[in-house]
Amino acid sequence: MIPELSQMQIGRRIAELRKKKGLSQENLARNVKLSRPSLAQIELGNRCIDLVEFYRLSVVLEFSLDDFMSESFSIGKTTAIQPNTDKKESEERISIPVLNVSKFKNVLLYILERCAGKPNVGETVLYKLLYFCDFNYYELYEEHLTGASYRKLPFGPIPGGFDDIIGQMIENKQIQKIKTEYYSKIQIRFIPLVKADLTGLKATEKEVIDKVIDQMGDWAATTINDYSHKDLPWEVADDGRAISYELALYRESPYSVRVYDDD
């Protein structure tokens, strides 16, 4: 349809324009009469756009078709966005996570409470349970749960600042760090010494945490490692770099936790 541009270029420009407008994929998809998975595939460059869909996108995202197709197209040169009186629709998406230390500690304590008797839940498994709680919640609600940043390291996603937070919790006698032998290997475990304060958690947040624990709480470290390494956000991130929460919106089965209508 647009020989000057590849599908990947089209998708990238649409994603950039959507974020500039402060729209979630859900909002944009609804406005242009697409399913959210279809829009996600367009932004990934995996799906073509027909003329009607392209016209609707140009209206909602306020770009000129000629400008969009130009090699010199720039997001900064698009039509100025008029203020939107609907706060919920115009509120800019939070793309950079900001750690809520108190919530992170209580989520950690709650996971440890639920998994206190599970011999498999050492430090390695705990990292992954926290990761899937945070990224599953973001995929469902496009909001951060704990706001922790995760880096891609060889053994899977690791939450930033984890050691510092653990040190504080040990000093405050909230948890105890122990070393045990598990299948002939030294395993680092954390024992909760106080109960988690769940008053700061939404019902939706607790529901996501419970589902992650129910699904993965009994998995061995090697099993959850292998599983996390095939999750799209971890898979496409650069080694040693932060893992983008936005990539959770592009997950497919069996990792996607949202149920979408077919296109």
Residue 2's pLDDT band, with cuts at 50, 70 and 90, is very low
How is domain 7-90 classified at the architecture level of CATH?
A: Orthogonal Bundle (1.10)
5-14, 72-81, 117-126, 228-237: which has the minimum mean pLDDT?
Answer: 72-81
pLDDT for 138 beyond 90? yes
The per-type count for the chain, helices as H runs and strands as E runs, is 12, 4
Q: What is the mean pLDDT of residues 83-111?
A: 71
CA 232 to chain centre: 10
16-20, 37-41, 227-231 — which one is most confidently predicted on average?
Answer: 227-231
pTM metric for this prediction: 0.71
* Paired residues of 150 in beta bridges: 159
CA angle 244, 249, 254 (to 5 degrees): 110
Enumerate residues 6+ apart whose C-beta is below 8 A from 185. none
pLDDT of res. 25:
87
Residue 95: pLDDT band (50, 70, 90) is: low
Give the confidence band of 250 by pLDDT, cuts at 50, 70, 90: confident
Residue corresponding to tokens 């077919």 = 262
Predicted pLDDT of residue 121: 93
Residue 71 Cα distances to 6, 63, 155, angstroms: 11, 14, 41
Output the six-digit token pair for 42. Answer: 């367009």
By the 8 A CB rule, do 102 and 219 touch?
A: no
Task: Check residue 4 and give its pLDDT.
Answer: 67
Q: Decide if 125 contacts 218 (C-beta within 8 A).
A: no
Mean pLDDT value across residues 54-59: 86
Residue written as token pair 């998995």: 219
Domain spans, the chain: 7-90, 101-250
**Mean pLDDT in residue range 105-133:** 94
